[in-house]
Chains A and B, each alone.
Chain A
Amino acid sequence: MRARPVFGQYVAVDSPVHRLDARAKMGVAAVFAVALFAVDRFAGLLVLAVFVALSVAVSRVPWSVAVRGVRAVAVILTFTLVAHAVRWQPATVSLLRLGPLALDAEGLRSGVFFAVRIVVLVVGTSLVTLTTTPVELSDGLERALGPLKVLGLPVGDLAMMLTIALRFIPTTAQEAEHVILAQTARGARLGEGGPLRRARAYVPVLVPLFVGLFRRADALAVAMEARCYRSGAARTRLVEPLMRATDWATLSLGALACIAIAVVC
């Protein structure tokens, strides 16, 4: 039975970053992201990039894994660069001319700036999911959003939904494998032909899977009711991690540093 990594991301190593509370990490990441977009000089970008690089180093996550997210946005990066740097028959002086297209110095500079910003953003924010298990993330999110209960938002219910979804991802994956195998044994040919053909071929997999999921939802609801779950009701919790001094320190210093950089640059 293969254990599938949820989100394909969490890297199970021990590091100071891993040990931080999820709320501290998410908080710093949020301020970091805002600061990144507030910065308008290369110097600011550089400082934030160094900050990310140091964080990755401390987290003991392999670099190859840490920058994997960049590949996913390669298309956006290229597009950004080209959109800024390449001009169509401009009147101004250019670095290079190729027929009607021209490579503009100023445009190249801003293109690089925006592209680098995207890279730093992707690596920086993915560090949160790389060092925090999905369970810690959803618990952290629930506690962080707790105060919003005052506004009437069903925070507890949303958190419960997220927990159940996480709990069933591996199980549903196993069941999907089972159905795929069974239909293959009946001669289904999945993964062949063009996109339309493939989509149609997956109907015999998706229908049983969804039917099963709905049945399971019904049964699970019965089980939860039998264990006295009530939507929106108050509940105590077995594990309630507290923000420690290190967490508060990281959160405040990290946030302050990012704000400072944004203001200066």
Chain B
Amino acid sequence: MALILKGAGYAYQAGTSVEHRALADVSLEIGAGDLLAVFGPTGSGKSTLLSLMAGLVTPTEGSVSVDGLELLSREAVRFRKSVGLVFQDPESQFFADTVLADAAFGPRNRGMSEVETDAAARDALALVGLGEEFHPRSPFSLSGGEARRAAIAGVVAMRPAYLLLDEPTAGLDAPGRAAVIEIVCRARESAGVVVVSHDPDTFLPLATRVLYLRDGRPVFSGDARAYAQAPPADAPVPEVVRAQALATRHGAASGSVTFDPVEAARRLAGAAGWPR
């Protein structure tokens, strides 16, 4: 059971004189337990990738399939049922009177019965760490971190097999970020997770696979450790990893890279002959 892209691509206004290839030739595979980190500058096609994976648009080249079901226009609705997409700034989607009612929107639209919907909404809110005291509150009264979590719960409540998140930690402070990281780790226990982010410090250590896009094309698509070990030029990597890469130019052994700053300090100091 996997979400598979084979040479997938999408062009806006395809076939016209103003055709714009936002994404081309992306191949990857994710299953439950995987965490795919997607990096790349703004405009590199990351949002288009998420739209493709969520079945919001059909690929103009290649194929996208979820658990063996290919994404063709008519099948799109069924496709969307297994993929949940959390957009950037998801708090801007709140519309219901209570947090619980807003979380129930997704599962109800999926056709679940009222009983199932209520259970799904409650489970999702529990997963994101919002206790029962939050259920009757208005979603508009929540703080930044709480609102982000409630919005993610709205998508998790649909029980998707694959969870896609677009910049889930953007604009959050440290405690807010930590809460989101916890949610992502819990989600991957039973789903395949894709995170688009500008923050390699947070998500590279958690990732199993990495996709690095530039101008709509994949510069790297593969194992996360391989990415950290030998990142392509200008690729987003944590500063700690960059320090180790730079150190190899001074003769430090290029052994396996570590994300732990204390361990990295020990190795680098040793390689440079400190303490002297």
Contacts and interface: CB of A to CB of B under 8 A. Distances in A.
Q: Would A and B touch once assembled, by the CB under 8 A criterion?
A: yes
A208 B87 CA distance: 14
A211 B140 contact: yes
B56 interface: yes
Interface residues of A, number: 19
Nearest to B164: A185
Interface in A211-229: 211-212
Interface string A158-177: 00000000000000000100
A75 interface: no
A245 to B, nearest CB: 41
B92 A175 contact: yes
Contacts of B94: 207-208, 211
A216 to B, nearest CB: 11
Nearest to B110: A187
A204 interface: yes
B155 to A, nearest CB: 7
Nearest to B47: A181
Give the contact-size bracket for chain B: 20 to 34
Given A178-B87, A182-B87, A185-B87, A208 B93 contact: yes
A69 B108 CA distance: 43
A10 to B, nearest CB: 19
A218 to B, nearest CB: 13
B93 A183 contact: yes
A179 B151 CA distance: 13
B109 to A, nearest CB: 3
B92 A178 contact: yes
B145 interface: no
A203 B92 CA distance: 14
Interface centre among A179, A182, A184 (most CB of B within 10 A): A182
Nearest to A207: B95
Given A183-B93, A183-B105, A204-B105, 20 more contacts: A178-B89, A179-B92, A179-B93, A181-B56, A182-B87, A184-B56, A185-B80, A185-B84, A185-B155, A186-B105, A186-B158, A187-B105, A187-B106, A187-B109, A188-B105, A188-B109, A205-B95, A207-B95, A208-B92, A208-B93
Interface of B: 51, 54, 56, 80, 84-85, 87, 89-90, 92-95, 105-106, 108-110, 140, 154-155, 158
13 contacts: A183-B93, A185-B84, A185-B87, A185-B155, A186-B106, A186-B109, A186-B158, A187-B106, A203-B95, A204-B95, A205-B95, A208-B94, A212-B92
